[in-house]
Structure 1
Amino acid sequence: MSKKVLHVLSVSFSIKYFIGNQFNYFKSKGVEFHVACSYSDELMQLSEEYGFKPFPIPVKRAIDPVQDVKSIYRLNKYIKKEKFDIVITHSPKGGLIGGVASFFAGTPKRIYFRHGLVFETLTGIKQQLLILVEKLNGAISHYIVNVSPSVQRKSQKLRLSKPYKNIVVGKGTCNGVDVHRFMYRDGFKKKDVKVIGFVGRISKDKGIAELIEAWKILKKANVNIKLLLVGPIDERDPIENDLLEYINQETSIDFAGEISDVTYYYNKMDLFVLPSFREGFPTVTLEASASRLPVITSRATGCIDSIIENKTGKFVEINGIDIAQAIQYYLDNPALIFEHGIEGENFVKNNFSEEIVYPLIEKHVFN
């Protein structure tokens, strides 16, 4: 397989999560990678780590007609010069900039990865604008990889792209899970304290307010419990200041903040909770399951595909009472923590490991 491939993203932060070890897998098969996204030191560091050629270009998440046209023009020239076989775009804005540029460059194969439906938690003109962007991305791409079955169902219901263009890789996900990194390790858990964990952006969309509401209920009935929050504060979707102040001051909550490698943090947890309002396909739930943790999550798009109810975890309504009841159920039934953890580990290994997902991406995207 001798191909030249360009990935287009908004920010370098996503490179590890959207592509990651795919670089190594496909490079060994003769693929040459380039990555276009907004400049950052991280972009340059990752280009050395993964061996791709970076093309820094402004890809603003907000609509900026002047800058967007400039970026499309520059990227179009770059695509024509490099003569890529495939251009793969990610996220609504990366899809728009990369899709339009590669469309007018006549790239033979244009793939759009639909990582979620950002407009699900929006209303009014913002929602309609993002739906329009998704439809445009669908129109100018040859194929659309929906990262979960539920994203695909909703995309088809809203007619975001022609049905024949839609693809789901296996049971979902864009990149699979490195089960050699995310795995059960003994010796990290506290014997006398149960740790309930969360990994992700500290934001309204992730259900942080509802999780804290649940925590206030739980700590009244349980003494030896801790809540471990891992992730950056999201400035685009910030939680209320008084809620953040409570998180920082409450002694039963450990707020680790943004961590570059969360691998071992899962090993400190006994349960994992993601009460999110929207996802594409939550990688964190797969990482938690691979680490042998039961997962409590919502029935939101993406989340609904990430567990098997009453086998690898439990679904909850996104409110404090329901979340608290689900956590308490596991605390009262420790045998289920072990049982559902084992089932979750097998669920990920059998369906979402990189060894399973990468050949499917090769079949659907690179052939």
Structure 2
Amino acid sequence: MKGKKVLHIVSVSFSLRYFIGNQFHYFKERGYEFHVACSPSDELVSLSKEFGFEAFPVPILRSISPVQDIITIAKIYRYIRRENFDIVIAHSPKGGLLGMISGYLARVPKRIYFRHGLVFETAVGFSRKLLINIERITAAFSHCIVNVSPSIIESSNNLKLNPPHKNVLLGNGTCNGIDVNRFVHRRVHSDFTVTTIGFVGRLCKDKGIYELIGAWILLRKEYPALRLLLVGPLDERDKLDTAITDQIYADPAIEYVGEVDDTSPYYNSMDIFVLPSYREGFPTVTLEASASGLPVVTTRVTGCIDSIREQETGIYADNTIVGIYHALKFYIDHPGIAQQHGINGRAFVCANFSEEEVYQEIENELLS
């Protein structure tokens, strides 16, 4: 029996591996046909070959550009009408806005918006109001909204972004699940000690990099042999001060890897994982770290609060230098607890966030 024809809409091709990834292979085997509308890039072409989807390059600017946005809506509308999609799924605030409007105008039978986070949480003034209203408009043109964590649903309801009956949560959260076979759990050692703290993600203010580097300076004074491993790109939209980047480059105990295609091997070079973020939708990196057997230090903010079990797979820290310092120091001084939390984390992810579990939810809740 032939599956349905689905169009995903994203702003940038970088998101595809994390928002959808192996779903392309899984559902293609079950008869579904996937297309992707996305800003043009060489990466989009290579990903279309890797994952077997039909690419439709179209400019989807992250900034508000009324003329270009109207042109893009018209192009997506015509593409939808030509291909006759059963389902349109849009991701991110801008991709969601243009995708849901296009899908509505083309009268697509099922329009789904993935709310991966609340970008306005760290915005103020007019920018915050604008971003909140964009969420409301996008939701109005959607049949349902997949919120990637329970705390995103709570915030969405508090802010009245959409009627509660439109909200969907896939299992315990996340948008794509974790390939638990790709993230290898290290062996347990009786003489385990913490030598490396690790971070994976964009290096920017919202991810708490200022606080992390501040905490790192304090820790280095007490533990001279300690290393810090940073994996991820420098964010061009939320740039770090030159003083911080200079410090990262100059410190011989900090290894800055930059952006990589596959993060999985790097977790095995870490002993503690830290994500001191100010906002998330559902941080996939904490699940990847837990799947790799790492204890996690993160913050009590939207998304992050759903990604660990406190004092079982990780611990929370305040969004301050001192708070992050004390949380990391606890694991350094208690390696047995750190190791046990890593073991618990692997079991937690396998039981609740494996790709197979999430993909079954996606088919039952969204594609059927």
Q: TM-score normalised by the shorter chain: which range applies? A: over 0.9
1:22-59 residue CA offsets vs partner (Å, 9 max, x unmatched): 00111111100000010000000000111100000000
Hey, what's the Cα distance between the residues in 2 that align with 1:163 and 1:84? 26
**Native 8 Å contact 1:7 1:88 kept in 2:** yes
The Cα shift of 1:185 comes to: 3.8
**Native 8 Å contact 1:193 1:226 kept in 2:** no
Hey, what's the Cα distance between the residues in 2 that align with 1:53 and 1:279? 30
The Cα shift of 1:299 comes to: 0.6
Aligned pairs for 1:2-21 (under 5 A) are 2-21=3-22
The Cα shift of 1:224 comes to: 1.6
- Which letter maps to 2:358? V
Gaps in structure 1 of 5+ consecutive residues? none
Give the SS at the match of 2:230: strand
Give the SS at the match of 1:228: strand
Give the SS at the match of 1:205: helix
**Native 8 Å contact 1:186 1:267 kept in 2:** no
Hey, what's the Cα distance between the residues in 2 that align with 1:172 and 1:132? 24
Hey, what's the Cα distance between the residues in 2 that align with 1:135 and 1:40? 30
Alignment: residue pair count: 365
**Native 8 Å contact 1:195 1:271 kept in 2:** yes
Q: Which residue pairs with 2:65 in the alignment?
A: 64
1:48-99 residue CA offsets vs partner (Å, 9 max, x unmatched): 1111000000000000000000000011000001000000000010011111
The Cα shift of 1:240 comes to: 0.7
Aligned pairs for 1:121-160 (under 5 A) are 121-160=122-161
The Cα shift of 1:142 comes to: 0.2
1:278-305 residue CA offsets vs partner (Å, 9 max, x unmatched): 0000000000000000000001100000
Give the SS at the match of 2:340: helix
**Native 8 Å contact 2:197 2:273 kept in 1:** yes
Give the SS at the match of 2:146: strand
**Native 8 Å contact 2:192 2:336 kept in 1:** no
Give the SS at the match of 1:127: helix
Gaps in structure 2 of 5+ consecutive residues? none
Q: Which residue pairs with 2:83 in the alignment?
A: 82
Hey, what's the Cα distance between the residues in 2 that align with 1:45 and 1:185? 32
- Which letter maps to 1:125? F
1:195-226 residue CA offsets vs partner (Å, 9 max, x unmatched): 00000000000000000010011011112210
Q: Which residue pairs with 1:45 in the alignment?
A: 46
Q: Which residue pairs with 1:93 in the alignment?
A: 94
Hey, what's the Cα distance between the residues in 2 that align with 1:100 and 1:112? 11
Q: Which residue pairs with 1:264 in the alignment?
A: 265
The Cα shift of 1:192 comes to: 7.3
Structure 1 segments, 4+ long, off by >3 Å, are 190-193
TM-score (norm. length: structure 1): 0.98
The Cα shift of 1:191 comes to: 7.4
- Which letter maps to 1:314? I
Q: Which residue pairs with 1:164 in the alignment?
A: 165
- Which letter maps to 2:26? Y
- Which letter maps to 1:162? P
Q: Which residue pairs with 2:334 in the alignment?
A: 333
Q: Which residue pairs with 1:231 in the alignment?
A: 232
Q: Which residue pairs with 2:353 in the alignment?
A: 352
**Native 8 Å contact 2:194 2:335 kept in 1:** no
**Native 8 Å contact 1:309 1:315 kept in 2:** yes
Give the SS at the match of 2:206: coil
1:232-269 residue CA offsets vs partner (Å, 9 max, x unmatched): 00010111110110011011111111111111100000
**Native 8 Å contact 2:193 2:332 kept in 1:** no
**Native 8 Å contact 1:290 1:349 kept in 2:** yes
Q: Which residue pairs with 1:181 in the alignment?
A: 182
- Which letter maps to 2:134? V
TM-score (norm. length: structure 2): 0.98
Hey, what's the Cα distance between the residues in 2 that align with 1:179 and 1:99? 32
Hey, what's the Cα distance between the residues in 2 that align with 1:277 and 1:331? 24
